[in-house]
Structure 1
Amino acid sequence: MDKDILTESLLLVDGQEHALTPRFYEILFTRYPEVRPMFSTDIRPQTAMLREAIVAVLDHLDDAVWLGDTLGALGRRHAGWGVTAPMYDAVAQCMIAAMEELGGDAWTPEMTAQWTEALGAVAGLMQAGAAEAEGVA
């Protein structure tokens, strides 16, 4: 993963307005309305938490122990909320869609490739944590 491309592309799509995570949830709930009940009515706190998590992952991209511990714990919590393996793919698809939309003409295929890889790695670590919680590891 190229941390510079990930960081620069996040700035492109999120910037000062922090538009990425609200748009992501709009797309997620439109494409997958069945997940909407998993969230509170006021999605703003969730958008802020997701944004902070994305920034934290980028800040710790070179710290495998932090990533494994933090994302594994997050995966265990998500398993308790009923998140299933297919939902990780849905999240990645909707996040990429939001990024491509917000990035407009400045968004590149390389950015999509880097984020696809990064989101796949995040999902893998979270799912490993979820599997531990279920005693499958």
Structure 2
Amino acid sequence: MNKQLLENSLMLVDLPDDGLTVRFYEILFDRYPAVRPMFQRDGKLQAAMLRQALVAVLDHLDNSEWLADNLGSLGRRHADMGVTAPMYEAVGECMIAAMAEIAGDAWTKEMSAAWAEALGAVSSLMLAGYPQKQAAAAG
């Protein structure tokens, strides 16, 4: 994974007031309205938490133990909320769409590929944290 490209591209799109993740949720709910009821908490709080999670993952990209433990735990919580594997794919799609929209012409195919790889790895680690029975149903 190209950590430098991920960090540079995040800095390019990391808007004040969690603007990236706010825009991400707008795109997600527009493209996948069926997931909207899964989000009970305040949208700004949810966006802030997602931004913090993105930064934390990038900060620990070289620490596989931290990633496995923390993302596995996060995956277990998402399993309890009924999140399925296709939903992770939708999240990746919508996050990259939000990034590309915000960056405009500065966004590159390489950035999209790097984020697709990173978000795919995050999804895999989160799904690995699912209880056995739910993991089979999620896939």
Task: Assess same fold via TM > 0.5.
Answer: yes
Partner residue in 2 for 1:111: 111
The worse-fitting range, judged by mean Cα deviation, of 14-23 and 2-11 is: 14-23
Letter in 2 for 1:49: M
| 4+ residue segments displaced more than 4 Å | none
The unaligned stretches of length 5 or more in structure 2 are none
Partner residue in 2 for 1:123: 123
The unaligned stretches of length 5 or more in structure 1 are none
The worse-fitting range, judged by mean Cα deviation, of 38-47 and 13-22 is: 13-22
Q: How far apart, in 1, do the equivalents of 2:32 and 2:134 lie?
A: 25
Partner residue in 2 for 1:53: 53
On the 8 A contact 2:127/2:135 being kept in 1, the answer is no
Partner residue in 2 for 1:79: 79
Q: How far apart, in 1, do the equivalents of 2:83 and 2:16 lie?
A: 30
On the 8 A contact 1:76/1:129 being kept in 2, the answer is yes
Cα deviation, residue 71, structure 1: 0.3
Q: How far apart, in 2, do the equivalents of 1:80 and 1:25 lie?
A: 20
Identity %: 63
On the 8 A contact 1:76/1:132 being kept in 2, the answer is no
> How is 1:18-37 mapped onto 2 (pairs within 5 angstroms)?
18-37=18-37
| Paired residue total | 136
On the 8 A contact 1:21/1:50 being kept in 2, the answer is yes
Q: CA RMSD in A?
A: 1.5
Partner residue in 1 for 2:99: 99
Q: How far apart, in 1, do the equivalents of 2:82 and 2:32 lie?
A: 15
